[in-house]
Amino acid sequence: MAGIVSTSKQGKRVVVIGGGVAGSLAAKLLQDDADVTLIDPKEYFEITWASLRSMVEPSFAERTVINHKNYFKKGRVVTSPAINITETDVTTKDGAVIGYDYLVIATGHNDLLPKTRQEKLSQYQTEYEKIVSSQSVLIVGGGPSGVELAAEIAVDFPEKKVTLVHKGPRLLEFVGEKAADKAFDWLESKKVEVILNQSVDLSSASEGNKTYRTSGGETIHADCHFLCVGKPLSSQWLSGTVLKDSLDGKGRVMVDEHLRVKDRKNVFAIGDITNIPEMKQGYIAESHANVAVKNIKVMMSGGKRKRLSTYKPGPEIAIVSLGRKDSVAQFPFVTVVGCLPGLIKSKDLFVGKTRKARGLSPKLVQG
């Protein structure tokens, strides 16, 4: 594939790598002012924090899996992973070479996802059928996705035996102990068996035999299992590019207060991939996108009258939904469990708000 060049907006070519929460919003907000190319291995953006609800209610995914072209109508989508960055271009796996004046890196975490929206919706249908046809379910991993999935199954299918195994000493290690304890108590009240400080050998159960062994010598019977463990950052590929010196020891991209990559004037990084010491959450990734977009617009206009915006981490709020009505919420000075925080998140999981931010109808189903 030859290089993709556009002369319509000279000096205003923006390439966004990654179509997750941060990248999708940045591309959407820049499309009116710049010549934007969004590079992503998949054709859609997914509201990831709503994904566990889609496993027990597949039709929910109709609103949470959104083709890039639905909110990003004026730009170009290249459906292929980025594999190299030079001072002037980005190269993708399928051979496209895309020139940039400004670059936004928003690749988040490594995850093997289906390429098309339809394949993703089918995947949820398959997972739902797996849950429905099982009497007992094993969930490995006690972070937010493991806890939320256990809660969704416990609420929608109370007759099923749910076991959650976590290798750490407590659930939800990214929040405080109080919030973790409240989530533990809520799960136990819904008859979910929680086993801490142990791991599971998933290969210990053969096809016919549904018994899994834990590192503590316990056996767990389960008709199916779900692995809900953290995914590594998608930054390893940058070590072979001109940005190789921008990674810290943990593989995070070092950024300044304007979210520009260390020692770079026209390259930004946003979302989970940055080295900003804060919780990695969707609403924070969206804040990053807003700041980076403002700064790119200032720079494109010559930046004469305006100073660049600074990103300041705000008060940290974590809300882990527990089924359809409850959740545990950690605010800066208080931790609450039950209906009140549940109303904030559990009912719609912020799906309407997130669709609206991308110019879409909160409720309408679109392909």
Predicted pLDDT of residue 317:
86
Q: What is the pLDDT of residues 130-147, one digit of tens each?
A: 999 999 999 999 999 999
Closest CA to 132 of 111, 104, 153, 102: 153
Domain range summary for the chain, segments of one domain joined by +: 13-41+80-111+231-313
Give the amino acid at 227. L
* First-to-last C-alpha distance (Å) of the chain: 28
pLDDT at 2: 45
Q: Tell me what pLDDT residue 333 has.
A: 78
pLDDT at residue 175, as a whole number: 87
Cα(187)–Cα(184) distance, integer angstroms: 5
What pLDDT sits at residue 204? Answer: 81
On whether the CB atoms of residues 346 and 325 are closer than 8 A, the answer is yes
What integer pLDDT is reported at residue 343 of this predicted model?
65
Distances (CA, A) of 160 to 151, 156, 206, 280, 286: 12, 9, 21, 32, 37
pLDDT for 331 equals 84
Which regions of the chain are under pLDDT 50?
1-2, 5-7, 367
Note whether 149 and 124 are within 8 A (CB): no
Identify the pLDDT of residue 9. Answer: 67
Alpha-carbon gap, residue 273 to 254, rounded angstroms: 9
State the fold for domain 13-41+80-111+231-313.
FAD/NAD(P)-binding domain (3.50.50)
Name the residue with tokens 């394949």: 119
| Short-list 258, 169, 251, 167, CA closest to 214 | 167
Residue 49 and residue 143 in contact, taking contact as beta carbons nearer than 8 Å: no
**Is residue 33 within 8 Å of 300, Cβ to Cβ?**
yes
Please answer whether residues 20 and 45 qualify as being in contact, where contact means their C-beta atoms are separated by less than 8 angstroms: yes
The backbone region for 263, taken as left when phi is positive above 0, alpha when psi lies in -120 to 50, beta otherwise, is: left
Tell me what pLDDT residue 157 has.
98
Reduced to 3 states (helix: H, G, I; strand: E, B; else coil), residue 349 is coil
Question: What sign does the CA torsion over 309, 310, 314, 320 have?
Answer: positive
348 backbone dihedrals φ, ψ, rounded to 5°: -120, -5
Cα–Cα distance between 245 and 263 in angstroms, integer?
A: 9
pTM of the predicted model as reported, rounded to 2 decimal places: 0.92
Token couple for 194 = 């929680």
What pLDDT is recorded for position 151? 97
